[in-house]
Amino acid sequence: MLCRQLMDLPGPRWKRGKDGKDFAALAAANPMSMIVAELQASLRDSKPVAILSGDGKDAVLAVGAHQAALLNRAAFGRAVQNSGDEKQWFHLGPEEMFFLCHALRCITVEAENKKQMGEGELWDLLTSTSEPFPEMYKAYEHLRLKNWVVRSGLQYGADFVAYRHHPALVHSEFAVIVVPEGKMFGARCGRMKVWPDLLCALRASGSVAKTLLFLTISTQNCELRSSDCLEQLIVHERMINRWIPQQWREQQDKPRREEANRDEQRQKQCREKAIREEQEDTRVGLLFSYWGVVLGFTVLSSLLVYKLKL
């Protein structure tokens, strides 16, 4: 296996637009950071409320048409079909809901009984309904703050998948596995420590043309009982690829092949130059021979005329 840093990124696989649209140029003209900043400002002005579901694992958010368009562009949540025209509803997962509430501070959250929940109460509820929520949210927040679009990776056998921009424009590049480290995470620290699990994850990500990205969440002295622990959680990024001997040999041999091709090209150019020079010399020799014959014939003709006159 080969481990690399997240900054050493492969090229994105942009989708093909109709009528020859250049999605790469469209994404460059509309960076995700600007879209999220516009969404944050708009939601802060309208102060929307997300209503928790009965089990407390997710929520629905009612917004106007403009905020709905921004939520779609920023790839937060999923639109819910409804018959109303004034408001549009979005279904938010637990990480998305807490990110909008905690990191962007642009929505408020209410329980079904319309009781407004503070950040501490919401944290207690989410961690009680999902034990791995702290490390999952930290991984989600880590990628989102780097302007990656993060979606569920369940269908790919991963925790998340990460997109360079909106999923309508580009294919996801990473299948993300979140690996906790430290005694505070309890039994969850044994994840991905045996070779079969790692190989299965590598095979699954490779079969769908994605790079396997491990986000290791570590801490030394941190209580997970409040959202204050998020400042002390450390995220380590590791990209893992399968090491294929044949491909490695080809990569090693590529510089040698390129050098050999360059040498062959230089030799070909030298041969062509020598042939051109030889042809040029031949043409010059023929030219001199021609003028020599003409000059000799002229001299001979002059002598004959002179003798006849005598």
In whole angstroms, give the CA distance from residue 137 to residue 205.
22
What is the dihedral angle through the alpha carbons of 169, 60, 159, 183, rounded to the nearest 10 degrees? 140
CA distance 216 to 202: 16
b/e code 113-130 from CB counts within 10 Å (16+ = b): eeeebeeeebbbbbbeee
Residue 210 designated active-site = yes
Contact 138, 123 (CB under 8 A): no
From the candidates 142, 165, 166, 210, give the one annotated as an active-site residue. 210
User: What single string gives the DSSP state of each residue in 97-118?
Assistant: HHIIIIIS---EEE-TT--EE-
Residue with tokens 């694992």: 57
Residue 241, C-beta contacts closer than 8 angstroms, at least 6 positions apart? 1, 2, 4, 202, 211, 212
The catalytic residue among 163, 254, 290, 309 is 163
- Selection from 194, 242, 238 nearest residue 213 by Cα: 238
Which of 45, 44, 163, 49 minimizes the C-alpha distance to 104? Answer: 44
CB 70 within 8 Å of CB 60:
no
Answer whether 77's CB lies under 8 Å from 91's CB: yes
Whether 163 is catalytic is yes
Q: Is the distance from CB of 51 to CB of 20 less than 8 angstroms? A: no
Tokens of 68: 């709905």
- Active-site pick, 171, 236, 254, 306: 171
Provide the greatest CA pair distance for the chain.
141
Catalytic residues: 163, 171, 210
